[in-house]
Structures are given as structure tokens and as C-alpha cells.
Amino acid sequence: MAEKRDYYEVLGIQKGASEDEIKKAYKKLARKYHPDMNPGDKEAEEKFKEVNEANEVLSDPEKKARYDQFGFAGVDPNYGAGAGGGAYGGGFDFGDLGDIFGSFFGGGFGGGQRRNPNAPQRGESIRASVSVSFTEAAFGCEKSVTLERSEQCPTCKGNGCAPGTTPEICPDCHGTGTVQTRRQTPMGVFASNGPCRKCGGTGRLIHQPCPDCRGTGAVRKRKTIKVNIPAGIDHGQTISLRGQGNAGRNGGPAGDLLITVMVQPHELFRRDGVDVFCEAPITFAQAVLGAELEIPTIDGKVKYSIPEGTQTGTVFRLKGKGIPVLNGRGRGDQYVTVTIETPRNLNKEQKEALRRFSETLGESNYEKRKSFFKKKRGPSMYIADYHIHSTCSPDGKMTMSQAAEAALRAGLDEICITDHVDTIFWGNNAPRDSFDWASLRAQYREALEKYGDKLSIKLGAELGEAYLGYDRAEILLNDAEKLDFCIGSVHTCSEKYDCLDLYFLEEGKSSDYYRAVIEDYLDCVLAISRWGRFNVLGHLTLPLRYMKEHLGLDWSFAPWMDRVEEIFSVIIPQGIGIECNTNRGNRPLPDADILRLYRQMGGEVITLGSDAHETKDVGCVIRERQQLLRDCGFKYFTTFTGGKPEFRKL
């Protein structure tokens, strides 16, 4: 039998890896060794089979548990894994069937053979539970568990005989524990196997039992065992302590101690996987004016500034303040839901002051009131389009006011205008060190005045081609008043391709040429990702749009998933998100496979945008793409105020 590699070694992960870590490792290796990516490569084909075999076992909780306990013998029949589960403690083995059928048919099924009663037998496992606090579960601790278990008798060393004596092999069954009886019936002579009556099926006779264990070979003892509770363990999970259960028989190993961890609820926090959730009550004044809050975390209090106009239900993320990953690296996040506490027991003067203040406000100061009587729209109660271009962009065909009007017709709650702010002039690729922010602000103010009481309108920018001059990109951003949001995008290739706009990809080129263009594009995306002066990465798979529309090439990014993973490893630690670009109803940019990869790698910040340049596309298929995000495992999408993310439930 060929030597098999450990399944954890095959996938390049540690024993105890989480489900997500197993999935991530499998996907990466499956892509690497897939036959389609390695045509004719026999070694890659074998690697692919090996990776699939490892994933089949480790992705199945039951198989994984058997493998962790018994190795290959627990999952592979070639190594002794029983088909009925008898080899690893579940069900019964063929010896049992042989006893049953042998009593009727003369031992014909399985030969009527019983397991050797004097063979070493593993002891029974013991189950116990231990209670820990929320914080102890998060960071790990040491607990003591007191239990009663059977241990090998120290007097007789487990043989059940008094000191100085030994057991006798049963003369009737010759140590097998079974005897055969034959009886005459009208149908002939039938033979059956049954336990030996003389020795009780043990195969041994003890004439002088041990005075301490009375011949059993084991004694009951009360034992206190220290248990290391690993950081990140969750309620209901079980820790296995090998060899701490009941004593084995005939020199067999002791069973295991299985400890179920019971995590006590916390007065402030609740947990979902490795993420922590809590609520932060704030005053009306803090919500209106903004404030610096002290937010409790499992590490202690941290400071967080909320912006002006914060609404109740707004969710903020504290990155890396969640639960440590069990037997892994990294931590989850903490999500804080803001609730505005209404003051009680106001005196007369306070009530009068509040009335005077209220009279100075108009409907434009309230966002939820203006949409209260809107038609109910289904499960996604908040709809936002965060990629819209006005006539302040060279290719925009609508004013900001027209975009706002279109958003209202589409039933949106919020839009963000994200006009092109590029480091080069379109057409001649001339360097650009300034932008007409005054015109953009004028249009924005006009849209707010007309529609600000009916729709939340945010101001952002789409910063393109920053990799062609980071100094000029810095000037463009510094000249602007504070924006709510900024998209980092790449629309052209590098200077290696004369800054070719992807929109103008030529027909008739070779596949190698188009692949090289994508490689160059990804180099540019990685470069701006490392620069990082933006909130989300826009339309990551943009070349696919123009290759499909203009060249008829229906490609995917599957050959470049390693490059995509590298980009995500750069932006996620910076808190930079990605955009789910609806592509105006066509194939989303990026597609589901890349969205799932981003989620699996810990990415949470994600916006939805139509990339609309004219009114008919505003809000296009946003609701459908919200469902796509839910299908990919996302719980929230993101909007922004003053450059800070706000998490909206999907």
C-alpha cells in the first residue's frame, strides 16, 4: 500500500483548522492543480486527486472527527476502517452479526467467530461539562473538572487475581469465551455458538479474586483534572482529552474524557461565530452633533468618533475586536449598533426649549419621516446606489438633480454621486493636477435643496489612474472638501501599454495579448491597493465588461484568482472594501466566486453601485445584487458618512 500523506499536510493547514480555513485551502490548491489548468501534467493530476480526497474527509465533521481520533484507520477501509463503524465505536461489527446468525445457522455468517475476550479493549469514554464566562471562552483559561472514573486496580495490575495468583484458561472454551452446542432437529443437526457458562464468556477462571477490585481488574476513583480551555471556543463545543476516561480491559488503553463547554451569556455582548455584537446608547445631542464615545470591548474600552447626524440603528465596526479564531490566527470584529436614548422627566424649561428647537427644523432634517409612507419593498428595507456619475464627469449624461429624481422613481433610500476625478485628462492622457470642485459642489447643493428632504444624498468621487501619479492624486484629493466616500478604480493599462483605456481594447488580437492586458491591469490594481487612499476598490473585474461587450469574449477571472487573493490580502487589513458593481444588469463585477473569496478572507466592507451615467440606469438591479450578497454569506452592506463605514443589514 502506497504511503499516504497526512490530510492536514496535503492542504497545508494545522490540525484543528476551522471550516473556513479548510475551504480556503482546498479552493486554492484545487485551482492550482486542476487538470484544466495543467493539461497533460500527470503529477498535477495526482495532486488534484490527493487534495480532493483530503477535502472530502476534513470538510465532513463526522469523518474529520474519526480521522482526528484514529487517523486513516477511521476513514479508509484499506487501513481497517469498518464499513459498519465498529472499528471506531459506532454500531456493531461482523462479529456481532456472526453471533446472531450463528445461533440459527451454525455459524455460517462471518464464521460465527466472536471477538477474543482476552484481547486488549479500549475503555469507555466519559462525558462531562464545564461552565466558563464569556471572556474566559474568548481568551482561554484553565478549569478543574472533578469526576469519578474506573482505573486499573493497583493491587492486581488489572488481571483481577489476588497477589501471587494468576487466572486459569477456561478448560471448557479453551480461552475463547464461547462454546458450540449441537442439537438434533427434524431438519437435521444444527450447531450454535454461545457464551461459555463455566467462565461467563471471559475465557478465564479466577480462583482467588483480588480483594480490592473483587476480580474486575478496575477500581472507582474520584479524580480532579485540569483542563485548558482554548481561546475562541464557543458554547456547546467539546474538548477531547485522550486517555482520561475509564480504564481499558486486558491492558487496553483508557477511554477519553469529553468535556462540553458551556459559555455563560454576557450582559453586554452577544456572539455570532468570531464576531461580537453590542448596542451603544447615545444621547440625542450626541447623535445630532457627533461625539467621541468610549465603547466597551472584551479587551476594555476603546474610543470611537461618531459623525454628525448619526441615526439610531447605525452599525459601526471595530476591526479585530472580536473573538480569537479557535486554533488559528486572527480575530473577528465587533459590531456596534447605535441606539438613541430619549430623555425622560424633563422640566418645564427643558420642554419649552425643545419645542422652540423643533420649530426651527424642517422636514429636510429628517430622513426616515420622508420615506415612512413609501410602498413596502420586501426584505431589503434600505436601498443605496453608491456609484453614480453626473455631468461633472466627462462621460456623464445627467445632472445630480436628475440622478436624485431617478433614484426616487426607483424607490432608493440613498445615493452617492461618484464623479471621475482622474490624474490624466481624457483623450490626450495629459497629466492633471486640478479638478473643478466648485462646479461639483454647486450641483450637489442644488440636488440637496431639491430632493434632500426625500432622499439621502452623499458626495463622493471615483479616483482613477492614481498609479500614474500618486503625487497628483494626493493634490486632487487634498483640494477637495471632505468627501463622504471615495472609489479607487483602474480604467486604463499602465504606461507599458501607452495608458490604453480598457474601453478601447482592439479586436483581432491574440488570446495571449488579452491575457497580458489583464495581467497588467491587475498589476495596476495591486499598486493602488498598496497606496490605499480610498474606501472601496471599484469594479475589480472591469476588463470582463469590455471584453464581453466589444470583443464577444466571455472570460472569467478563474486563472487569476491567486492575484485576486493577493489584492485582498493587501486591502482587507487596511479596512478597504470592494464594490459589487451591478454592471447595469449584466454580469456583476466581480462575480460570486470572487465575492465569496473576499468574505472567506475576512472582508466585510462592501458597497453596491450601478455605475450609472444616465437616468435609466440609476438603482439598476441593486435589490437583485443585495440577494447575491446574502447568497455569498454577507450579513451587511456598507454606506459611508464622512469617510466612515456604516453597516446596513441585508
Which run of H or E residues covers position 302? strand 300-306
**Which residues contact residue 107 at a Cβ distance below 8 angstroms, ignoring those fewer than 6 apart?**
98, 101, 113, 180, 191, 192, 193
Query: CA-CA distance, 397 to 390, in Å (whole number)?
Result: 6
What the block records as the C-alpha cell of 198 is 463455566
The predicted model scores a pTM of 0.56
Q: What is the pLDDT of residue 108?
A: 39
Rounded to 10 degrees, what is the CA torsion of 527, 533, 535, 540? -20
**Per-10-residue mean pLDDT for the chain, 650 residues long?**
77 86 86 76 86 89 81 67 39 38 39 63 90 95 93 91 91 88 74 84 89 91 93 91 90 90 93 93 92 95 92 89 90 93 90 86 64 48 93 93 95 96 75 86 94 94 89 88 93 86 88 93 95 96 92 92 94 95 92 94 94 95 93 94 92
Task: Round to whole Å and give the CA distance between 650 and 640.
Answer: 16
Quick check: 367 and 355 in contact, CB under 8 A? no
What is the three-class DSSP state of 194?
strand
Cβ atoms within 10 Å of 294's Cβ, excluding its own = 10
**Number of neighbouring beta carbons within 10 Å of residue 92:** 13
Q: How far apart are CA 418 and CA 406, in angstroms?
A: 16
Beta strands in 347-448 (DSSP E): 384-388, 414-422
Task: Check: CB of residue 293 under 8 Å from CB of residue 336.
Answer: no
Cell numbers placing 280: 451603544
Angle (nearest 5°) at CA 349 between 344 and 355: 75
Looking only at the bridges linking them, the beta strands covering 334-340 and 126-132 are: unpaired
Contacts of 347 (CB under 8 A, 6+ apart): none
Q: Of the candidates 415, 522, 424, 523, which has an alpha carbon nearest to the alpha carbon of residue 464?
A: 424
SS (H, E, C) 308-341: CCCCCCCEEEECCCCCECCCCCCECCEEEEEEEC
Which pLDDT score is estimated for 21?
Answer: 87
Q: Provide the pLDDT for residue 396.
A: 92
CA distance to 256, 292, 648, per residue, from 237 (Å) = 16, 38, 31
| 125 contact partners, CB below 8 Å, separation of at least 6 | 245, 246, 255, 256, 257, 258
pLDDT at 427: 62
What's the CA gap between 432 and 435, in Å, rounded? 8
Distance CA 507, CA 505 (A): 7
For CA atoms 136, 139, 143, 145, give the dihedral sign.
positive
Distance CA 361, CA 367 (A): 13
C-alpha 516, offset from chain centre: 33
Q: Which residues contact 119 (CB under 8 A, 6 or more apart)?
A: 250, 252
Q: How many residues does the chain have?
A: 650
- What is the pLDDT, as a whole number, of residue 85? 38
pLDDT score, position 175:
86
What's the Cα-to-Cα distance from 152 to each of 168, 251, 359, rounded to whole Å?
20, 9, 85
CB contact set of 628 (below 8 Å; sequence gap of 6+): 580, 588, 592, 595
Maximal CA-CA distance, the chain: 111
